[in-house]
Amino acid sequence: MKSLCSALILAVLLVTAATGAGLSAQGLARTVGAPRSEFLIPVVITGEVNKAGTFQVIDNLAVAQLLEMAGGLTVNASRTVILVHFSNNAPLSPPSRASLAQLIRAGSSVPRNITLTRIAVVDGDPTDTRIHIEPQDILFVPGKNEG
């Protein structure tokens, strides 16, 4: 646990220093000699969050940390957060909210290359469950009437 905290603190310090020096995530990865894919992972956080977007993250963050990056949940957020993972053939741009809402509806057929992981939000608080993030994953927070 101590080494994980140290690694997280180091990552935050490196990103902060890089931002101050005008380096992008790619520039930072080149500077420290690590391939970008092994350092920061792009994840889309969308739906009922206050600041939806694409965020560069390290792997194995808690759902609560990811949602905090996106400004937290809105009052209309459902009690479930959904991790959408594409095993191959990921779309060139993130699917629309309507497409994601349709994908998670009960009875909808889910393509073979997509895995949906439902994560419960208890009493309005995101979980401390850590999740494995891969490039092009989407963390979708449906509205109360969407899923």
Residue 49's nearest CA partner among 24, 29, 67 is 67
Which helix (H) or strand (E) covers residue 80, if one does?
Answer: strand 80-86
Tell me what pLDDT residue 121 has: 83
Full pLDDT tens readout for the chain, 147 residues? 445 444 445 454 445 544 444 444 444 444 444 454 467 889 999 999 999 999 999 888 889 999 999 999 999 999 899 999 988 877 778 888 888 888 888 888 888 889 899 998 877 677 788 888 888 899 999 999 886
pTM of the model: 0.70
Between vectors from CA 35 to CA 30 and to CA 36, what angle results, nearest 5°?
85
Between vectors from CA 116 to CA 113 and to CA 121, what angle results, nearest 5°?
165
**SS3 call for 115:** strand
Domains of the chain listed by start with CATH number: 1-37 (no CATH), 40-141 (3.10.560.10)
